[in-house]
Structure 1
């Protein structure tokens, strides 16, 4: 559903590949709800700028999903 903010485990965590996670582990864990929730604004800024992931940008649907999740309570 277009307005469904999704949940972290089912919808948000799968947006991040193993290599995305590994490249960010020195800062925070992209597969950890608390880390992604805490850094959601900074994370969202990167795909909007086209700088994450480093090998190509997310499609608009993925950016929109992450934004809805971040703006509507960050459900787990």
Structure 2
């Protein structure tokens, strides 16, 4: 199961629409409710993917100002 999941992670890196399915697989493997992947790039807005149930919430989060005030994000992007 983990080998298949690893393959899907690599595939999703090139086909972003696969991330929700990959995250569902990670959730099942780790007994989690949800997860997300964030993309930080110079001069670009932060983007992210999550499971379908949480995508609207993630979109709202990304459009807000929470990230700009996060010390963890500031350290990660330094």
Note whether the superposition's TM-score is higher than 0.5: no
- Structure with bigger RCO (C-alpha 8 Å, 6+ apart): 1
TM-score of the two chains, using structure 2 as the length reference: 0.29
Higher strand share: 2
Larger radius of gyration: 2
Higher helix share: 2
